[in-house]
Chain A
Amino acid sequence: MGLQEYDIEVERDGLDTEEMTLNMGPQHPSTHGVLRFVVKADGEVMRKATPDVGYLHRSIEKIAEKVGYHGFMPYTDRVDYVAAMFCNQSWAMACERLAAIEVPVRGEYCRVVAAELNRISSHLLSAASMTLDIGAATPFFHAFREREKINDLLEELCGARLTYNYMRIGGVAWDLPPGFVEQTRAFLDDFEPALAEFHDLISGNKIYVERIAGVAPTSAARAVAYNLVGPNLRASGVDFDVRRDIPYSIYPQLKFAVPVGRGEVGTIGDCFDRYIVRMREIEQSVSLVRQCLEQMEPGPVLAKVPRKFRPPVGEVYVRVESARGDMGWYVVSDGSEFPVRCKIRTGSFAAMSMIEELSRGLMLADLVAVIASLDIVAPEVDR
């Protein structure tokens, strides 16, 4: 029996379709740190998700102006504590470029070994938390088991498992400890089959792939306009890697490929591409560490740098390929012991600013996949 027969007027347009405002965070397990989203949703579909950041603002840029060049090194660890080696390296590089300091070759090798190991551990964390956020718990433990071994290696190297403070202006604090080369080779030998196992476990898993394929694709043009960097940019098909295209350190002597997103299961630049580009970068990092261990020659690791470090008047903008992509350090010196300005432009900041646009029309549950696939680390957004 139709409704008409009951003489009830049905007015589709008059239905109450109020927009819902939901609050996600600041303490939400999938926000990867302390940050908040204000989500405007129509049922399960998001109108937009507005990020609210700043919960982890520790005024690191202001601290740089107060503690001097050498003293700032431990603070750089806190910019991105998942990949602190890169922050160490970029700060050191900025100071070295200001004062025209040459880093000893072995020092550069030590930096690249440490940084690439850190890249593996950072990408493992990203992949692990992404699978966990999406609902697959097992891969998380597989990835963390391997990450733990890298933490052990880096602890051996510099005494810390997360905030390394390993590099210095002019090189690195310590040479590789005895047995480190053998331990690292042994780890890499074990790690490669473990990575293959991880791929078998999840990368081709139908549930996982269908959950992230084709979700929130970013075109190359939008990615560039929003200044997405690193794996997020490459997932959109832009073949750019600072290590290769604006070379620094000893990367020109090393061979590595730059994986780009191909949209193999969905659209180019979707969540799956961002995931798989990171996983492929891990393989490249493994090869880079092996090459470094092979090529390293004995020698000094730290150049002579005065304790009272006063670079000449000038300004530099240093770009380093961090685990979260092109990290820019703009450092201005007035010739004194303290920098006038230290601006840190991070990959997560740009990725976060894009979420509002990416979220439009997306399912509410996909927001978690988008945040995870952009590999956002909240302290890096806020600094």
Chain B
Amino acid sequence: MEFAAILARVQGCFPDVAGDSQPAVGDPWVTVAAAAICDVCTFLRDEPELRFDCLTNQSGLDLQAENKLQVVYHLFSYTHRHQLVLKVDTPRENAVVPTVESVWPAANWLEREIYDLFGIVFSDHTDLRRIMLPDDWVGHPLRKDYVEQEHYHGIATRRESLLR
């Protein structure tokens, strides 16, 4: 199914939460309000004509200029071989997005990674721990304003360049 048709189906059921955007280059996406993401995803997965059975990718994105964080969902349907991009905006401070773990189990680890590297909290997640970095690490490195801590357990995190 083409993007416009999928969008029409989504908007038919969720008139106030879905809008669309077309970038100059790349795939168009649907913007969904954070509160509705779980319902929209369940609908996309279960609707026979859409059947987005796979969350192929979930990614964080820091849009510093617009002062917001985004979670980007790349969905794919093995049944119908079509794809869809969803985006959820969240403020940089107190970033909270409901988890879609109950819709696709693959989201469990993907959301842990976003939490670890962007500091976006996924509410109702069953196991929201850091995944890449140590549990006592300070900060979320993929945020644009991230400043690395100077020491970690007495170990310096920087050193003089060897090229002097």
Q: Chain A: residues with CB nearer than 8 A to chain B? A: 53-54, 57, 59, 61-62, 97-98, 100, 221, 224-227, 238, 240, 245, 311-317, 319, 326, 328, 330, 332-333, 340-341, 343, 345, 349-350, 352-353, 357, 382
Contacts and interface: CB of A to CB of B under 8 A. Distances in A.
Contacts of A313: 23-25
Contact of B106 (A98, A341, A353): A353
B106 A326 contact: no
A357 B141 CA distance: 29
B31 interface: no
Contact of A343 (B53, B54, B57, B81): B57
Given A54-B132, A227-B104, A341-B61, A100 B56 contact: no
Nearest to B58: A345
Contacts, number: 95
A326 B55 CA distance: 13
B109 A314 contact: no
For the complex, would chain A's binding face be called helix, strand, loop or mixed by DSSP majority?
Answer: mixed
The 5 closest A-B pairs by CB, nearest first: A314-B25, A353-B109, A227-B106, A343-B59, A57-B132
A314 B24 contact: yes
Given A330-B74, A340-B61, A350-B109, 7 more contacts: A53-B132, A57-B132, A57-B133, A61-B142, A315-B25, A333-B25, A343-B57
Contacts of A225: 53-54, 104-106
B106 A226 contact: yes
8 contacts: A54-B130, A61-B117, A225-B54, A314-B23, A316-B26, A317-B27, A317-B57, A382-B132
A312 B25 contact: yes
B78 interface: yes
Contacts of A330: 57, 59, 72, 74
Given A227-B104, A343-B59, A317 B25 contact: no
Given A313-B23, A314-B25, A328 B106 contact: no
A341 B59 contact: yes
A54 B133 contact: yes
Interface residues of B, number: 34
A221 to B, nearest CB: 8
B145 to A, nearest CB: 13
Contacts of B59: 330, 341, 343, 345
Interface string B91-125: 00000000000001110111000000100000000
A97 B78 contact: no
Interface in B55-80: 55-57, 59-63, 72, 74, 78
B74 A53 contact: no
Nearest to B77: A224
A267 B63 CA distance: 47
Contacts of A62: 141-142
A317 B23 CA distance: 13
Nearest to A318: B26
Nearest to B55: A227
A311 to B, nearest CB: 7
A100 B53 contact: no
Interface string B116-158: 0100000000000011111000000110000000000000000
B38 to A, nearest CB: 16
Contacts of B110: 345
Contacts of A314: 23-26
B85 interface: yes
A236 to B, nearest CB: 11
Contact of B57 (A100, A333, A345, A353): A345
A240 B133 CA distance: 34
